[in-house]
């Protein structure tokens, strides 16, 4: 970490969870279910299962102590860091016993409030807004002191209790908040609701505001805001976390609202769209009045006549108006889950349904034809075995399926992705998730000449569909490159075959478009593919290169130039990128091929997703070694290295070239035969390119 080496030893205590033994001895999982093979979650006599595969009937097991990481000691130190991504400035504070004045806790007792420290650090680096890797801003962050702590205790006793509290704090030892100099506009709940309603109309989706009870017999409701395709089932599990509709609107984003739409709409009816039909809201009432909507949903959470509490209720925005419905128990299902103890757990699940379904929206057209999946057997819970993937016949000696080709388990059917349908059509929606939306109805049977463009090594022909069935053709409508297209649900890049309309014909006599729709429509909610035509909102690469040294990290940027594969459907085309934060002293070769992205912005977003793991790795393993307290002043802006990285990738076309930016120097290496071969080290990338004979131009 930055800030220079730490001297001395940290204050450590013997881990109270394991008493310094690095492991704990506790009751086995089988004890809670009793001495029986078929168990439920209902209370049972606490006795060991005599045939337990974990404890062998003893009832106790030894497990590694996760609280101290099997070290037997804990460090009584927390480090808070706020880093301004826009300026590179870093400021940190070390929280050790005696540095933070205890304050009365809101729920009683005493605590060490950390939020004032975070606010002070943010002000010192000029951050107007900040959040950690989990999207939290540090509000309410505190170290709870033991109940016996009191300001009347002697100093040594109070200090000992603070040591125990800080060492036992359940959060990360190093808490890093990334800040920006300019805060986004404050969220106005009424305006956010209107924006989501308008977007739902454009996307031809339902906007669902759902309130569910925290648990049976509990009055508290948790709110969820999401987009769904019409006919999507009520989710099996509650995903809402906000205690009011206003709170939910202040925290929801368009991405979070659309996340999981595929899983929720897997069994929804598949229909084409008639997007030319415009919704006509009733001008006689305020259809987006926030208070009215919330009160109406809350009223639906109880039986009208008896007042008996129901599991929840929802409001659905469809066809320019709200439709309200209660949530009721439709069925109770049971399934057997094998525990690691060898016991079979009978899991009971309540299946919820809406009290009534609103009428179909005007923008739904005719049904998309489909055939049952020929591979899976959903009635008996069977899925195709992996021995059938890419094979012409079932492996008769397969240990998993015994030569049947089907096996039970939680594996997803690779033929239909558990939709149990093979679609003969698909609706593709391209959008920037703001104002621009394009809907495409793709139907099998449409005349679509597909010339041969390549042949697979096994002899299978590869054809290319006409331009109207290539998503790359529609990218220019949104002013983006084809590589910028990603799936709105999940953020994964749209694969090359879908972008360019490539189809490998596995079976003769099948129309290329029909096979393309069957392959691309797997697992789509209601037969719909929603594509985001906008680059991710991430900090520029120069900002991250400037920031990383202040945190004691390095940034590895890998590039592979595949432009020599242009128009070759058998190989990856374009330029692939991979960005990774690391604390290792020298570049290391990953065990697997880098998970490259077709755009640099996409690679940066992927790298930021794993920043939290890198920060945890940067904390010293030895509890006696203090955590560094990084400090870095505002640094000068640096030039964008992307043009030089592209030139370097072109020089080593077809190979992964990795450049490590550590602040002290720049290391360049190339991946060859599974190893990373060092090429050159230089003060900066420009000097490194010159040393490789690529010049500075």
Helix (H, G, I), strand (E, B) or coil at 123: helix
**How is the chain split among helix, strand and coil, in percent rounded to 5?**
20, 30, 50
- Name the residue among 273, 189, 259, 193 with its Cα closest to residue 230: 273
| Burial of residue 592, with CB atoms counted within 10 A of its CB: 0-12 exposed, 13-18 middle, 19 or more buried | exposed
Q: Residue 202 burial (CB < 10 Å; 0-12/13-18/19+)?
A: middle
d(CA 100, CA 76): 13
Question: What domains does the chain contain, in order, with CATH numbers?
Answer: 23-64 (no CATH), 76-180 (3.10.20), 189-363 (no CATH), 415-533 (no CATH), 544-611+628-691 (no CATH)
pLDDT at res. 403: 80
307: CB partners within 8 A, 6+ apart: none
Question: What pLDDT, on a 0 to 100 scale, did the predictor assign at position 384?
Answer: 78
Distance, CA of 556 to CA of 659 (rounded, Å) = 6
In angstroms, what CA-CA distances link 546 with 36, 386, 542? 60, 46, 6
Q: Is residue 518 classed as helix, strand or coil in its secondary structure?
A: helix
- Residues 653-683: pLDDT tens digits? 999 999 999 988 899 999 887 788 899 999 9
**Cβ distance 421 to 415 under 8 Å?**
no
Q: For 404, phi and psi rounded to 5 degrees?
A: -85, -25
3-state SS, residue 138: coil
**Environment class of 683 (CB within 10 Å of its CB; exposed 0-12, middle 13-18, buried 19+):** exposed
* Cα gap 146→39, rounded to integer Å: 38
Three-class HEC string of 426-473: EEEEEECCCCCEEEEEEECCCCCCCCEEEECCCCCEEEECCHHHCHHH
pLDDT digits (tens, 9 = 90+) for 131-189: 998 888 888 889 999 999 999 999 999 999 999 999 999 889 999 999 999 999 999 99
Which residue is it, tokens 């490789």? Answer: 692
CA atoms within 13 A on the CB side of 573: 14
Distance CA 66, CA 23 (A): 8
What's the confidence (pLDDT) of residue 2?
41
At residue 285, the pLDDT reads: 41
**Residue-wise pLDDT tens digits, 7-33:** 568 899 999 889 999 999 999 999 989
Q: Which residue has the tokens 């492996």?
A: 395
- Rounded Cα distance, 201 and 122, in Å: 40
3-class DSSP state of 24: strand
Sheet holding 528-533, edge to edge: 437-443, 425-431, 528-533, 485-487
pLDDT at 7: 54
Q: Say which residues have a Cβ less than 8 Å from residue 361's Cβ, sequence separation at least 6.
A: 204, 230, 279, 318, 319
Query: How many angstroms separate the CA atoms of 157 and 177, rounded?
Result: 33
Structure-token match 């996409």, residue found: 602
Element (H, E) at 116: helix 115-124
pLDDT at residue 4 in the model: 44
Closest CA to 52 of 37, 39, 40: 37
Per-residue model confidence (pLDDT) at position 588 = 63
Closest CA to 544 of 534, 535, 556: 556
Distance set, CA 105 to CA 138, 167, 173, 241 (Å) = 16, 19, 21, 23
Phi, psi of 127, deg, nearest 5: -90, 125
pTM across the whole model? 0.89
* Residue 589 · residue 675 · CB < 8 Å: yes
* The two structure tokens encoding residue 65: 């102590």
Dihedral sign of CA atoms 485, 487, 493, 498 in order: negative
Pairing of strands 554-562, 657-661: antiparallel
DSSP character string of 543-610: HHHHHGGGGT-EEEEEEEEEGGGTT-TTS--EEEEEEEEE--SS----SS----BSSHHHHHHHHHHT
Alpha-carbon span 500 to 574, nearest angstrom: 12
- Tokens 């420009």 sit on residue: 686
Helix (H, G, I), strand (E, B) or coil at 184: coil
- Asked if 402 contacts 385 with a C-beta cutoff of 8 angstroms, the reply is no
Residue with tokens 């109805």: 441
Contacts of 174 (CB under 8 A, 6+ apart): 78, 79, 81, 615, 616, 618, 619, 627
> Do 92 and 631 meet the contact criterion of CB atoms below 8 Å apart?
yes
Ranges of residues in the chain whose predicted pLDDT is under 50: 1-5, 280-286
Report the C-alpha gap between 300 and 510 in whole angstroms: 51
Q: How far is Cα 577 from Cα 649, in angstroms, rounded to an integer?
A: 10
Q: What percent of the chain has pLDDT over 90?
A: 70
Q: Which of 298, 322, 295 is nearest to 309 (CA)?
A: 298
User: Distance between alpha carbon 627 and the CA centroid of its chain, in Å?
Assistant: 29
d(CA 600, CA 578): 7
**Rounded Cα gap, residues 674 and 689, in angstroms:** 23
496 CA to centre of own chain: 22
């Amino acid at each position: 970490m930055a800030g220079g080496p730490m001297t001395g030893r940290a204050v450590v205590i013997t881990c109270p969870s394991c008493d310094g033994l690095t492991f704990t001895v506790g009751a086995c999982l089988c004890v809670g279910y009793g001495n029986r093979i078929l168990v439920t979650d209902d209370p049972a006599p606490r006795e060991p299962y005599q045939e337990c595969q974990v404890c062998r009937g003893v009832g106790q097991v030894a497990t590694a102590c996760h609280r101290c990481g099997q070290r037997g000691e804990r460090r009584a130190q927390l480090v808070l860091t706020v880093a301004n991504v826009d300026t590179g400035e870093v400021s940190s504070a070390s929280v050790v016993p005696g540095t933070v004045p205890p304050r009365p806790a809101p729920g009683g007792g005493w605590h060490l409030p950390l939020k004032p420290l975070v606010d002070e650090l943010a002000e010192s680096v000029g951050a107007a807004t900040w959040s950690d890797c989990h999207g939290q801003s540090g509000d309410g962050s505190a170290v709870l002191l033991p109940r016996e702590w009191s300001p009347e205790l002697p100093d040594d006793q109070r200090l000992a209790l603070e040591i125990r509290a800080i060492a036992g704090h359940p959060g990360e030892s190093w808490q890093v908040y990334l800040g920006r100099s300019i805060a986004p506009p404050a969220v106005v709940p009424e305006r956010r609701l209107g924006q989501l309603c308008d977007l739902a109309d454009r996307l031809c989706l339902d906007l669902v505001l759902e309130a569910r009870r925290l648990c049976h017999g509990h009055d508290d409701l948790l709110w969820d805001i999401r987009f769904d395709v019409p006919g999507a089932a009520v989710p099996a599990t509650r995903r809402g976390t906000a205690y009011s509709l206003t709170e939910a609107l202040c925290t929801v984003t368009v991405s979070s609202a659309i996340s999981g739409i595929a899983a929720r709409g897997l069994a929804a009816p598949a229909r084409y769209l008639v997007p030319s039909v415009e919704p006509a809201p009733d001008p006689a009432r305020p259809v987006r009045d926030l208070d009215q909507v919330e009160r109406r949903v809350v009223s639906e959470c109880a039986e009208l006549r008896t007042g008996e509490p129901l599991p929840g209720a929802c409001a659905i925005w469809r066809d320019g108006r709200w439709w309200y419905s209660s949530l009721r128990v439709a069925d109770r299902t049971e399934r057997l889950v094998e525990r690691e103890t060898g016991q079979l757990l009978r899991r009971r699940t309540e299946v919820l349904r809406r009290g009534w379904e609103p009428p179909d929206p005007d923008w739904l057209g005719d049904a998309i034809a489909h055939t049952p999946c020929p591979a899976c057997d959903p009635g008996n819970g069977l899925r195709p075995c992996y021995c059938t993937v890419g094979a012409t016949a079932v492996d008769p000696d397969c240990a998993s399926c015994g030569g049947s080709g089907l096996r039970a388990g939680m594996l997803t059917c690779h033929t239909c992705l558990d939709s149990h349908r093979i679609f003969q059509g698909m609706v593709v929606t391209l959008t920037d998730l703001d104002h621009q939306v394009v809907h495409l109805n793709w139907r099998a049977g449409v005349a679509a000449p597909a010339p041969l463009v390549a042949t697979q090594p096994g002899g299978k022909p590869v054809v290319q569909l006409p331009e109207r069935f290539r998503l790359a053709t529609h990218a220019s409508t949104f002013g983006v490159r084809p590589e910028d297209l990603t799936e709105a649900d999940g953020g994964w890049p749209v694969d090359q075959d879908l972008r360019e309309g490539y189809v490998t014909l596995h079976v003769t006599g099948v129309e290329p478009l029909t096979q393309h729709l069957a392959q691309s429509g797997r697992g789509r909610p209601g037969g719909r593919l929603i594509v985001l035509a906008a680059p991710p909102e991430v900090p520029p690469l120069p900002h991250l290169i400037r920031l990383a040294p202040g945190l004691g990290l390095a940034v590895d940027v890998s590039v592979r130039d595949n432009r020599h594969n242009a128009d070759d459907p058998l190989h990856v085309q374009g330029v692939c990128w991979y960005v990774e934060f690391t604390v290792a002293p020298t570049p290391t070769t990953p065990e697997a091929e880098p998970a490259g992205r077709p755009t640099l912005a996409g690679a940066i977003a992927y790298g930021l997703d794993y920043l939290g793991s890198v920060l945890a790795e940067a904390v010293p393993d030895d509890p006696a070694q203090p955590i560094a307290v990084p400090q870095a002043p505002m640094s000068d802006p640096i030039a964008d290295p992307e043009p030089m990285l592209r030139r370097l990738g072109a020089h080593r076309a077809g190979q992964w070239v990795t450049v490590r930016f550590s602040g002290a120097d720049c290391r360049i290496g190339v991946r060859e035969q599974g190893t990373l071969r060092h090429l050159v080290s230089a003060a900066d990338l420009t000097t490194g390119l010159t040393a490789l004979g690529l010049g500075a131009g």
